[in-house]
């Protein structure tokens, strides 16, 4: 395997190069989905309820009430643990968390809000068609004053750079950032790699050799579900493009480059060769990343997966066992999983890049009958060290509040010596790039869809590469946002 030091060196180099880029991240999941400010703001917005009366830490202990919280994430047991820890500090506020499937979240929430029966707190994301801030902006409380009360007028500097601006719409802080997410790297089953005497590949040929060993043993080498319209496989295309030219993807999102340039044709060729060489499964389009590829990895039928930072939670014994059981494993013995960077896919001077952003924030219903209690719950989770550490201990998100780390003595990793340094370094680097190399926020919905369909054609058909590239160019749209 790559050592933690090797992972640290590679990611740190990637972050340094990314920060030096003159091109910032490109467009939102929804066309025009966010008209957020160019940087973090401390100016109070004028919409979204009476923000001047926001809850403060000085009076919070005397507040009582019941709070309904809706989200598509975290897992129910993680959310319930957040509430349990919150109640140790504020026992008189009862919080109930309702977890939805991604596809059910938007219709359920919008219907409830329109009927005046929405929850007191709900999840919002920078963009996308599930939790994008623009979808619910008319119903949210401006949390600027709440953040000022708990963190001070410079509250934006207390969070990871870019996190609050990613959730700011027309000057309104629509949600308080709970934590970040990043992708563009691999998770490997270190237990399987050790069993077969293998190391994480650093070149494409090494990856081919590793996959031959696993495939010969009846183990899926790299679990990648490309069907079902999910975006995970399109992130592999982004990695391949970045391996050829680290500037291209962002420039294409902004309309500065064309998606059907020769670089796209080259990337398509690399992905098809990866499939021919046994790295990517032949029936990848017949699988959905969630749940199929997730279950393959958690049941140890697959040795590698390209999930993001959210997968770190399964480094914990308890979460690993629960996920393995959900994947159909009886009496599971948790395995050691660690993050590694993608191998050099283009054979040039490889500079791997992570792409990151705030994962989601917590919004408060401006018409909530328990607004003060709701604000205290949101503030404790997102604006206090104790609450942020509780979030970090789940290893579900990268840090939102700057300087807060997990309480590693309380985190039950499968193998502390192997996993802790790798995860620490990964999370630390995400903090540095979240405002520069956006994961999805700055892609338009049309561009996301064009890339998803393009990948299905790349890996599931023999359609000419140039024709696929031309179609991506035709179907995509330019981001309305500026760097």
Percent of the chain topping pLDDT 90: 72
Instruction: Name the helix (H) or strand (E) containing 207.
Output: helix 204-216
- Cβ neighbours of residue 59 closer than 8 Å, sequence gap 6 or more: none
Reported as a single tens digit per residue, the pLDDT across 171-184 is 999 999 999 989 99
Tokens of 437: 């190399």
Angle 203-205-207 (CA atoms, 0-180°, nearest 5)?
Answer: 70
DSSP H helix total and E strand total for the chain? 19, 11
Tokens of 456: 């299905």
pTM surpassing 0.85?
A: no
Best CA proximity match to 14, nearest among 438, 430, 440: 430
Reported as a single tens digit per residue, the pLDDT across 322-345 is 999 999 999 999 999 999 999 999
- Cβ neighbours of residue 216 closer than 8 Å, sequence gap 6 or more: none
List C-alpha distances in Å: 329 to 217, 223, 322, 396: 19, 17, 10, 22
**Is 203:344 a contact under the CB 8 Å cutoff?**
yes
* Whether the domain at 51-180+367-411 and the domain at 185-352+443-475 fall into the same CATH topology: yes
**Total number of residues shown for the chain:** 483
**Is 149:366 a contact under the CB 8 Å cutoff?**
no
Reported as a single tens digit per residue, the pLDDT across 420-448 is 999 998 887 776 765 556 777 668 889 99
Residue ranges covered by each domain of the chain: 51-180+367-411, 185-352+443-475
Give phi and psi for 426, each to the nearest 5: -60, -50
Q: State yes or no: pLDDT of 106 exceeds 80.
A: yes
Q: State yes or no: pLDDT of 8 exceeds 50.
A: no
- Cβ neighbours of residue 412 closer than 8 Å, sequence gap 6 or more: 316, 317, 318
CB neighbourhood size of 19 (10 A): 12
Mean pLDDT of the chain: 87
**Topology, domain 51-180+367-411:** D-Maltodextrin-Binding Protein; domain 2 (3.40.190)
Reported as a single tens digit per residue, the pLDDT across 137-152 is 999 999 999 999 999 9
Q: What is the 3-state secondary structure (H, E, C) of 314-369?
A: HHEHHHHHHHHHHCCCCCCCCCCEEEEECCECCCCCCCCCCEEEEEEEEEEECCCC
**Residue 250: pLDDT band with limits 50, 70, 90:** confident
Reported as a single tens digit per residue, the pLDDT across 369-428 is 999 999 999 999 999 999 999 999 999 898 899 989 899 988 999 999 999 999 998 887
Q: State yes or no: pLDDT of 33 exceeds 90.
A: no
Q: State yes or no: pLDDT of 357 exceeds 50.
A: yes
**Is 43:147 a contact under the CB 8 Å cutoff?**
no
Considering only the C-alpha atoms of the chain, give the largest distance between any 2 of them, rounded to a whole number of Å: 67
Give phi and psi for 49, each to the nearest 5: 95, 180
Q: State yes or no: pLDDT of 281 exceeds 80.
A: yes
Domain at 185-352+443-475: CATH architecture: 3-Layer(aba) Sandwich (3.40)
**Is 444:29 a contact under the CB 8 Å cutoff?**
yes
How far apart CA 241 and CA 442 sit, in angstroms, is 17
Q: How far apart are the first and last CA of the chain?
A: 37
Tokens of 180: 């970040």
Between strands 220-223 and 302-305, the pairing is: parallel
Q: State yes or no: pLDDT of 157 exceeds 80.
A: yes
Task: Please tell me the predicted confidence (pLDDT) of residue 15.
Answer: 37
Cis peptide before 74 (omega within 30 of 0): yes
Task: Please tell me the predicted confidence (pLDDT) of residue 52.
Answer: 57
**Residue 115: pLDDT band with limits 50, 70, 90:** very high
How far apart CA 435 and CA 437 sit, in angstroms, is 6
Radius of gyration of the chain (CA): 22
How far apart CA 285 and CA 479 sit, in angstroms, is 28
CB neighbourhood size of 153 (10 A): 13
């Amino acid at each position: 395997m790559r050592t933690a030091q090797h992972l640290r060196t590679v990611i740190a180099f990637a972050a340094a190069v990314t920060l030096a880029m003159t091109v910032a991240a490109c467009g939102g999941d929804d066309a025009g989905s966010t008209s957020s400010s160019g940087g973090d703001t401390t100016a109070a917005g004028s919409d979204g309820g009476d923000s001047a009366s926001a809850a403060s830490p000085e009076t919070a202990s005397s507040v009582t009430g019941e709070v309904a919280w809706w989200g598509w994430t975290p897992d129910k047991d993680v959310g319930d643990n957040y509430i349990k820890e919150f109640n140790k500090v504020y026992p008189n506020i009862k919080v109930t968390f309702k977890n939805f499937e991604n596809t059910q979240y938007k219709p359920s929430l919008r219907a409830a809000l329109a009927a005046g029966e929405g929850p007191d707190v709900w999840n919002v994301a920078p963009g996308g068609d599930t939790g994008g801030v623009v979808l619910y902006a008319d119903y949210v409380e401006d949390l600027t004053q709440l953040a000022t009360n708990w963190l001070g007028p410079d509250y934006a500097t207390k969070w990871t750079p870019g996190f609050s601006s990613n959730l700011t719409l027309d000057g309104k802080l629509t949600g308080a950032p709970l934590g970040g997410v990043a992708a563009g790297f691999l998770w490997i089953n270190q237990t399987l790699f050790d069993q077969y005497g293998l190391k994480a590949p650093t070149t494409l040929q090494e990856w081919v050799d590793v996959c031959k060993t696993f495939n010969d043993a009846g183990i899926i080498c790299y679990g990648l579900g490309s069907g079902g319209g999910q975006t995970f496989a399109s992130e592999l295309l982004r990695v391949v493009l970045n391996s050829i030219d680290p500037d291209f993807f962002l420039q294409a999102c902004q309309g500065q480059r064309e998606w059907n340039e020769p670089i796209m044709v080259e990337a398509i060729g690399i992905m098809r060769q990866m499939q021919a060489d046994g790295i990517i499964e032949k029936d990848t389009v017949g699988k959905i990343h969630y749940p199929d590829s997730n279950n393959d990895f958690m049941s140890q039928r697959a040795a590698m997966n390209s999930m993001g930072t959210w997968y770190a939670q399964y480094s914990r014994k308890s979460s690993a066992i629960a996920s393995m059981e959900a994947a159909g494993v009886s009496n599971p013995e948790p395995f050691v999983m660690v993050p590694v960077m993608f191998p050099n896919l283009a054979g040039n001077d490889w500079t791997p890049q992570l792409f990151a952003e705030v994962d989601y924030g917590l919004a408060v219903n401006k018409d909530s009958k328990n607004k003060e209690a709701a604000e205290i719950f949101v503030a404790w989770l997102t604006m206090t060290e104790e609450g942020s550490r509780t979030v970090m201990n789940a290893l579900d998100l990268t840090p939102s509040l700057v300087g807060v780390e997990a309480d590693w003595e309380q985190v039950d990793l499968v193998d502390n010596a192997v996993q802790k340094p790798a995860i620490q370094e990964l999370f630390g680097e995400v903090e540095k790039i979240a405002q520069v190399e956006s994961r999805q926020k700055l892609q338009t919905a049309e561009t996301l869809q064009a890339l998803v369909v393009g990948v299905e054609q790349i890996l599931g058909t023999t359609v000419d590469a140039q024709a696929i590239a031309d179609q991506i160019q035709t179907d995509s749209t330019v981001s309305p946002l500026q760097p």
